[in-house]
Chain A
Amino acid sequence: MDKLLFSSVSKKFVMALAGLFLILFLPVHLFINFMLLKSDPQPFNEAARFMVSFPLIRIIEIVLIAAIIIHICYGIYIQIQNWMARPTRYAVSIKTKTSFFSKFMIWTGAAVFTFLIIHFFNFYFIRLGLAEGNPDDFYSVAHRLFKIPAYNYIYLVCFILLGLHLYHAIISAFQTLGLNHRFWTPVVKAFALIYAIVIPAGFAVISITIWLFR
Chain B
Amino acid sequence: MNLTLKIWRQKDAKSKGKFVTYKMADVSPEMSFLEMLDALNKKLVESGGDPVAFEHDCREGICGTCGMYINGHPHGPVPAVTTCMLSMRYFSDGDTITVEPWRAKPFPVIRDLIVDRSAMDKIQVAGGYISVNTGAAPDANSILVPKKNAEEAFDAAACIGCGACVAACKNASAMLFVSARISQYALLPQGRLEAKERVRAMVEKMDELGFGNCSNTGACEAECPKQVKLVNIARLNREYYKAY
Contact = CB atoms under 8 A, between A and B. Distances in A.
A92 B106 CA distance: 20
A13 interface: yes
A94 B72 contact: yes
B234 A91 contact: no
Interface in B121-171: 168, 170-171
Given A3-B204, A102-B218, A178-B241, A81 B213 contact: yes
B218 A98 contact: yes
A208 B148 CA distance: 53
B216 A171 contact: yes
B196 interface: no
Contacts of A176: 214, 216, 237
Interface stretch (A30-38, A59-67, A82-90): A82-90
Interface string B217-237: 111001100000011011111
Contacts of B171: 82, 85-86
Residue among A86, A87, A97, A172 facing the most chain B CB atoms (10 A cut-off): A86
Given A90-B103, A92-B72, A172 B234 contact: no
B203 A8 contact: yes
A180 B152 CA distance: 14
A90 B233 CA distance: 25
Contact of A12 (B98, B103, B213, B223): B213
Contacts of B175: 8
Contacts, number: 130
Given A8-B207, A85-B105, A94 B235 contact: no
B82 to A, nearest CB: 16
B89 to A, nearest CB: 20
Provide the main secondary structure of the chain B interface: mixed
Contact of B104 (A7, A13, A85): A85
A8 B213 contact: yes
A103 B217 contact: yes
Contacts of B207: 7-8
Given A7-B207, A85-B104, A180 B71 contact: no
A170 to B, nearest CB: 11
Nearest to A87: B105
Range class of the B interface residue count = 35 or more
Contacts of A92: 69, 71-72, 98, 100
Interface string A49-63: 000000000000000
Interface residues of A, number: 40
B211 interface: yes
Interface in A148-174: 168, 171-172
Q: Which residue, of A88, A89, A105, has the highest number of chain B Cβ atoms within 10 A?
A: A88
Nearest to B73: A95
A206 to B, nearest CB: 32
A86 B104 contact: yes
Contacts of A78: 213, 215
A39 interface: no
A114 interface: no
Nearest to B209: A85
Contacts of A103: 170, 217
Interface string B1-36: 000001010000000000100000000000000000
Interface of B: 6, 8, 19, 69, 71-73, 77, 98, 100, 103-106, 168, 170-173, 175, 200, 203-204, 206-207, 210-219, 222-223, 230-231, 233-238, 240-241, 244
5 contacts: A9-B241, A81-B213, A92-B71, A102-B218, A178-B241
Given A7-B203, A11-B213, A12-B214, 4 more contacts: A13-B241, A86-B104, A96-B219, A175-B230
